[in-house]
Each structure stands twice: as structure tokens, then as C-alpha cells.
Amino acid sequence: MRIATIEVQGASRVVIVDEAGERYWDIADVVPGFAGDMLDLIKATPHPAQQLKPAGPGQPLAGARLKAPLNRLDRNLFLVGKNYHEHAKEFSGSGFDSSAQVVPSAPNVFTKPASTIVGPHDAIESHPAVTQQMDYEAELAVVIGKGGRGIRKEDAYAHVWGYTVVNDVTARDLQKQHGQWFLGKSLDTFCPMGPWIVTADAIDPANTRVQCWVNEELRQDANTADLIFDIPTLIATISAGIELKPGDVIVTGTPVGVGIGFKPPKFLKAGDVVRIAIENIGTIENRVR
């Protein structure tokens, strides 16, 4: 099941979208009395695939604008760096990695604020006064449904509400210059997300294709099977001492093929179009402005 946030006649609505991507059902018609946003829905429906039952023909999606499915969070997104084997090698060899290990011995977790989130077709600002080395990172994002602390790996998938697509846009010069990654990851518009959240039953997150094109050139084409630390390990690691809450987002890392992996590097510039597709979720496409 696909659950999106759309804008119709200036108003935001949380909706279920059909498999063809052509029709939608307003959650307010599916859950009597519901008037909230996606974060409210996640908190109210821990098992959406079982609890949300659209009825009737729905309405045409054409004419509605897709927004980021989750554009309000209770706190920062959690993200994971250097989490694909081939990407860890390319990053270490790029000259932009300030850490010592090629393959990390434990997940490299950082955050970016929710203020970075933009929709699946919104512009990414190029921030020319701040960075000259902007890069893309195609990533599978996990949305937590059931919270908890000390979640065991074997129980981890029961805490997942769904999955979406994220571009972890990064200013490489800031990432390198400041040692700590927060500034380079957190510029406004640096987190395109969407086109919707698919519920946890919709994909096999351990075997899912992740692709990224820049101006129609295929740059990243990998499978989540190449992850160094899998989703249960990430959930167990973060929740060990931080209580995960419904609506938390864990962005799992990017595979090989980012701009700094090329010699010379291929940085993004104004006018470039970045398209990211994740199997059985969907596609986001954002132009650099």
C-alpha cells in the first residue's frame, strides 16, 4: 500500500494511492474523524496495511501535487554513512573522507534536520555562496511505526511502518572541511523525499534495487543486498540507548556511484536533474536550482 501526502487546491491531505499511481483515497474518508498529517497517521495506525481499507472508486490523482510524504517530524532524521561495501571503498579513495576506516566496524550514524525535507519533484537549491561541491546520494529510508528502546535484531522488522526514497544531498566541501558531517548534510532542501511511503509488506528491504540518474546518465545501480549493516542492525544499534518513536526515519546509506567516486568528480550544478528510483517504491526527480 502506498500512502502519500498531496496538495489539492492549496490544502495538504494524507491519501492512499493505487498501484497504477492514478487514483487516491483520502485518509479522512478511510479513518473516520482523522484530520492529521502523516506523522499523526503513523502514530494512530501501527499496522496500516491491515487497518486502512479504502472503499469506492477514489479520485483522480492527476492535478494533485505530491509533497514529501513525511514533512513534519518530531526530531532529526537518522542517517547512516559508508554503509555499502563498494561505496565505502569509493568514499575512502576520494580524498573527502576524514575518517580512518575504509569499512566501518560499527554503523556511522549522523543526523540532518527535518527542515531539509522537500517533495519528490521540488527544486534542490545549489547554495552557490556556501558550496561548490554538491553531490547526490540515493538511499532507502525506513519509517518507524512501533517505537521502543533496546529493540533486538530479530524483532526489528516488526517496528517498521514503511519505506520511502530519499536523496541525501551532501555538500562535500563542507563535509570535509568541518570534520563533523552535520553542516554538509543539512542545507535547506538537501533531503528530497517521496513519492510516497510504501507499507512494510510492499518490499523486501534486503533485496531491493536502488538506482540514480543525473541528466539521464545512470550513476548508481545497486542492490540493498550490498549493505554493510542491514536494517535490523541499524534499528538495534540506534535503539540501544535512544528510544525510537513512531515516525522516526532511518536513512540507510548510499551505494557506489556518487559524484566524488568519479575522477574527476562529477558535482551537481544548477539545471541538473537527479532521478532516483527504488524498486517497488517509486521515483523522485528533482532539479537543481
* Residues binding Mg ion (CB under 5 A): 137, 168, 254
Alpha carbons 289 and 80: distance in angstroms, whole number: 26
Tell the smallest beta-carbon distance from residue 168 to Mg ion (Å): 3
Looking at beta carbons only, is 45 or 237 nearer to Mg ion? 237
Tell the smallest beta-carbon distance from residue 190 to Mg ion (Å): 10
Determine how many CB atoms are found less than 10 A away from the CB of residue 192.
26
What does the block give as the cell for 107?
Answer: 554503523
At position 74, the amino acid (one-letter code) is D
Query: Count of residues for the chain?
Result: 289
Asked if 288 and 275 touch (Cβ cutoff 8 Å), the reply is no
Looking at beta carbons only, is 168 or 248 nearer to Mg ion? 168
Tell the smallest beta-carbon distance from residue 275 to Mg ion (Å): 17
Tell the smallest beta-carbon distance from residue 253 to Mg ion (Å): 6
Query: Among all residues, whose Cβ is closest to Mg ion?
Result: 168
Using CA atoms, how far residue 223 sits from 51, 232, 271, in Å, is 30, 17, 28
Determine how many CB atoms are found less than 10 A away from the CB of residue 105.
7
Alpha carbons 148 and 232: distance in angstroms, whole number: 13
Tell the smallest beta-carbon distance from residue 107 to Mg ion (Å): 12
Determine how many CB atoms are found less than 10 A away from the CB of residue 100.
7
Looking at beta carbons only, is 224 or 254 nearer to Mg ion? 254
